[in-house]
Amino acid sequence: MPFGLPHFSAANIIGNLLFSGLGYIAYSYGRKMDNMRVMIQGGVLLGYSYIVSDTLWLYAIGVVLTGWIWFTRDG
């Protein structure tokens, strides 16, 4: 089940730190540039790992969300 209590494996903790860190960077960038869309995208990337517990889903969703931010950041 991809949702539920988090698993405390090394891969899961690294994924949480990685994608939360990228979300924080995106949120900060959006705030600095006064870009609400990037701020929201960064907030979603920051918070999704709190509801996704499966490591595979954590990385899959994180890659998709990071790509979403990357490809829509300037336009």
pLDDT digits (tens, 9 = 90+) for 12-67: 889 999 999 999 999 999 999 999 999 999 999 999 988 888 889 999 999 999 99
Task: Return the pLDDT at 74.
Answer: 72
**Rounded Cα gap, residues 30 and 10, in angstroms:** 30
Task: Return the pLDDT at 49.
Answer: 85
How would residue 3 be classed by pLDDT, with cut points 50, 70 and 90?
A: low
Q: What is the number of domains present in the chain? A: 1
Q: Of 46, 50, 49, which is closest to residue 69 (Cα–Cα)? A: 46
Residue 2 included in any domain: no
Residue 38 included in any domain: yes
**Rounded Cα gap, residues 5 and 59, in angstroms:** 16
Domain residues for 64?
Answer: 10-72
pTM: 0.83
Residue 61 included in any domain: yes
Residue 5 included in any domain: no
Task: Return the pLDDT at 1.
Answer: 46
Q: Of 19, 12, 16, which is closest to residue 69 (Cα–Cα)? A: 19
**Rounded Cα gap, residues 45 and 15, in angstroms:** 11
Residue 46 included in any domain: yes
**Rounded Cα gap, residues 57 and 51, in angstroms:** 11
